[in-house]
Structure 1
Amino acid sequence: MRKPLVVALCALALAGAGATPAVAAAPSPTGADTTTGAVPTTLTDVVDDTVGTVADTLSGLTAPKAGAVNFAGTVSLSNCSGSVVRMPDSAADDPALVLTNGHCLESGFPAPGQVLVDRASSRSFGLLNSSGAKVATLRADRLVYATMTDTDAAIYRLGTTYAQIKSAYGIDPLTLSDVRPAAGTAISVVSGYWKRIYTCSIDGFAYRMKEGDWTWKDSVRYTSACNTIGGTSGSPVVDSATGQVVAVNNTGNEDGERCTVNNPCEVDENGVVTVRKGINYAQQTYLFPACFGVDNRLELSASGCAVPKP
């Protein structure tokens, strides 16, 4: 999972080579808790001051270009990345939502089979503009949904609406696509934590992906150019052509190990296991729009809602 880490994030933030259960958290220059992927409270400040001079030479990373995918609407968490998102039918006066990984929760990793719904939260998020500068601190009032079963996702509700964010900061949310992406799609993985954008394509899909005690279904596999690192967990995976979010970055195989934490493996329909060292992954998000109704309310009983339920 790809959360911030010093050595190998125990939770490389399940989002695209980052921490796991491959949870992609950000590598911590000052030292992170390698059991939970937690980062010292000062790490975010350190990153804000230094990350602009780091990683410019790393392969797979690009600065935003005019007309291309940029940082607007992405957020930085204390230990991961995320984004302000809307459903295709969300209204401007709906409370805004933030998408990240289930392994990025402030309370630790959900257990296999566990689904958290409607929990109190005061989680804060640093809102970024198109150039990656922090323009505001947003705060959640509820954790709407979170799990690491079948997928690795968490959705928070903010105490502000999309319209309020737009009026105050000129920033629109990213839209979650309700269509399953296709292999070959050009994508950008946008990390608010590191303020870096990785560009590559969807190489294919893993029928099942196992990492430690967790199993995910129909995971997105990146081509090698998206060599995400800890701290990128929770980054939105954006279709470069449409600008819509098609997945959430969450993990990668760091050491070539088989199905261990930070070393997810792929399992096909016949149970054949494949290990791809250095390859990173994301979890698809097209199932979520069917689970949200009027006022961005979670409706797990809605027709077509196929995400894991409590």
Structure 2
Amino acid sequence: MNKPLLAALAALVVTGAGAAPAAAATATDSSAPARAAAPSLKAVNFAGTVSLSNCSGSVIRFPNSVDSDPALVMTNGHCLETGFPQPGQVIVNQPSSRSFGLLNASATRVGTLRASKVVYSTMTDTDVTLYQLTTTYAQIKSTYGINALTLNDTHPVAGTAITVVSGYWKQTYSCNVDGFVYRLKEGGWTWKDSVRYTDACHTIGGTSGSPVVDNATGKVVAVNNTGNEDGQSCTVNNPCEVDESGNVTVRQGINYAEETYQIPACFGAGNKLDLAASGCVLPKP
């Protein structure tokens, strides 16, 4: 996983996983390498992204969300404050008061948002946590002048130019969708139809949960979550690709994200979770 920083240190003790990145020393480490965005990426900025205590995230809405709906924050399942969901575990409507630092276009923290609950969290098939906030989209817009990012509700396309926007590091990573992975296995977890980046996106610990933005539309097509650090096969922090025939491929240094197009179908009016809705394929408890 592009592991959350505190969890990375815990994993090092508990599992003997590879060392946490040196950048884990401090969330405000000014020595973190800056990556300049290419000219074509000028439209992609930090507005609507958030920093968590150990991960990145974003304020998101669905195509059918309205301004009076309670706003949502999206990050990874493995960024959940109560610990990694176990394989097969799905958490819904769990109380939470987690706080998020809201960033503007230039990555300046302009305010603090707070969760009222974990709406949905899992590391099965995908790697996502969705928080409901105590504020609406309209209130966030009125107070901070910032709009939520919209999740695209169609499958991403190979070759698409994308930007991974990390609110934690206030840093962007620019590359393309290289392709899609039938099954991505890491430790005991398996993710379906994952996005593989081209090798230009060198995401690091703390970028977990970052929105992956389609440069052409400005919409979110995936949530950044992992990468193969050491060239090991299918171990924690070293995911492997498995094809339909069971063949395993290891790509050291390559990073991945989980698609988000399937999420909107699982939410109805008022941004209410409905896992029984027609077209909803997210794992159920």
| Matching of residue 147 in structure 1 with residue 143 in structure 2 | no
Give the secondary structure class of the aligned counterpart of 2:273: coil
Structure 1: runs of 5+ lacking an equivalent? 13-20, 30-42
Aligned to 1:28: 24
% same residue: 68
1:231, 1:207 → 2: CA distance?
A: 26
Work out whether residues 70 and 134 of structure 2, in 8 Å CA contact, stay in contact via their aligned partners in 1. Answer: yes
The correspondence for 1:271, drawn from 232, 238, 246, is 246
1:135, 1:26 → 2: CA distance?
A: 27
- State the Cα distance separating 1:250 from its structure 2 match: 0.2
Q: Across the two proteins, how many residue pairs are aligned to each other?
A: 279
- State the Cα distance separating 1:3 from its structure 2 match: 2.9
| Matching of residue 122 in structure 1 with residue 97 in structure 2 | yes
| Matching of residue 62 in structure 1 with residue 40 in structure 2 | no
Letter of the structure 1 residue corresponding to residue 43 of structure 2 = A
Within a 5 Å distance, the mapping from 1:200-219 to structure 2 comes to 200-219=175-194
Work out whether residues 100 and 248 of structure 1, in 8 Å CA contact, stay in contact via their aligned partners in 2. Answer: yes
Give the secondary structure class of the aligned counterpart of 1:28: helix
Aligned to 2:75: 100
1:149, 1:84 → 2: CA distance?
A: 22
Aligned to 2:258: 283
Letter of the structure 2 residue corresponding to residue 28 of structure 1 = A
Residues 221-250 of structure 1 deviation map (CA, whole Å, 9 limit, x = unaligned): 000000100000000000000000000000
The correspondence for 1:188, drawn from 163, 178, 188, is 163
Aligned to 1:236: 211
Work out whether residues 93 and 163 of structure 1, in 8 Å CA contact, stay in contact via their aligned partners in 2. Answer: yes
2:264, 2:21 → 1: CA distance?
A: 26
1:168 to 1:101, Cα distance in 2 relative to 1, 3 A: same
1:68, 1:26 → 2: CA distance?
A: 31
Q: Normalised by the size of structure 1, how large is the TM-score?
A: 0.86
2:283, 2:22 → 1: CA distance?
A: 27
Work out whether residues 9 and 230 of structure 1, in 8 Å CA contact, stay in contact via their aligned partners in 2. Answer: no
Residues 50-78 of structure 1 deviation map (CA, whole Å, 9 limit, x = unaligned): 33x5312xxxx325978420000000000
Work out whether residues 256 and 276 of structure 1, in 8 Å CA contact, stay in contact via their aligned partners in 2. Answer: yes
Letter of the structure 2 residue corresponding to residue 124 of structure 1 = S
Aligned to 1:227: 202
1:147 to 1:8, Cα distance in 2 relative to 1, 3 A: closer
2:141, 2:218 → 1: CA distance?
A: 18
2:141, 2:203 → 1: CA distance?
A: 30
Bigger relative contact order (CA 8 A; separation at least 6): 1
Q: Normalised by the size of structure 2, how large is the TM-score?
A: 0.93
The correspondence for 1:166, drawn from 141, 156, 177, is 141
1:274, 1:150 → 2: CA distance?
A: 19
2:266, 2:118 → 1: CA distance?
A: 15
Work out whether residues 97 and 156 of structure 1, in 8 Å CA contact, stay in contact via their aligned partners in 2. Answer: yes
2:8, 2:136 → 1: CA distance?
A: 37
Aligned to 1:33: none
| Matching of residue 246 in structure 1 with residue 221 in structure 2 | yes
Aligned to 1:2: 2
- State the Cα distance separating 1:2 from its structure 2 match: 1.7
Give the secondary structure class of the aligned counterpart of 1:295: helix
1:220, 1:9 → 2: CA distance?
A: 26
